[in-house]
Structure 1
């Protein structure tokens, strides 16, 4: 009896043990089935997000940096060429400006010198001319005319006793005219002036003469000068013979 009961108990124990083992395996299997999907669902999105974040912030930023570096490398030669071109242009402009300034200074100096010299010469010439005219007026003879018709009187003053007056007569439009000068070196005979022959006549008054008469066969178109100064004959209105009396004072 004891052995039979022991055998039954042992059999029962084994059945119970096997049942618990199978039940535990089933439970474990159930837990594994339920845990694994939950684990996969929790882990996979995190890994995917990490990968996505890694692609977004890691790979993407490296690509941007590479593209930026590539752009900078592409623009660098262009910038360098522009800088070199501007430097060359500035240098050429500076050299040209300096040359123009030098040429302008060199040209202005001689010009100033010439103008200064011309001004000096002009002032000197004007001064000499004024002095000469003043001396001529002081030393030269003076003439005053009066009369009308066919008679004209010329009063000559400021004449030195040693000077001989010279009378010049010439045609200035008339075809011909007979002329004579009294108290002259040529005598009373006179001479004929003609546009086809002799057009001028010159003679000097004798020394000490105080008066002389000039006879003109034709008045219009004839010019009379005393010591180089032309006599104003506008008062003579005669177209034929006229007389000019010279009085030396």
Structure 2
């Protein structure tokens, strides 16, 4: 079950964090994985790990905010069966502490980047007789998170684009879903703690972990497992859905 044999899968942000976990799992599950990332070294490292495990993969350096780069990269991949929009950036701040440049940076990657990848992939999927899109939304798409104004805006847009794409292309045999993780222990979290809480990393890590009712952050592999299911044929009856994977955050954190 949950195999992607003979599928071509594009994973954006595949050089680290959730995107890397998805790329590695897809490679183990039989997909030919196109690992896209701004960081060539990180993308190459993911590809090396996939190949070492017996999988097939290629690294593609691309800025998802640049539509021409994305279209060219996707055309190079050829047929696209699965697209996972994992590339993203974060920003900490409420409205008054979010500058125009901060807002534009988050928008260009998290919103325009997803749009660009959809714009490039959907025509290829239509030519191929169908496909699957999985977008990374967030709990911030559904509930208010303190000091996450721009990030929440962007993830709300991802949820809306997911529903719209699912509706518009259901007759083309294209499924589109999104997932909404709570905090996930990625290199971004470690970097954030080291930068903002030097000497108190362990204390702050535990404090952030406890904001999930389940008492810990998610592991990237756990997020990847849900993504694999939603992109597999076993999930062929699922489209236009958002799946929280949040340790109880949305429903139990009150």
TM-score (norm 1): 0.19
Q: Which structure is higher in RCO with an 8 Å CA cutoff and minimum separation 6? A: 2
Structure (1/2) with the larger strand percentage: 1
The structure that has the greater radius of gyration is 1
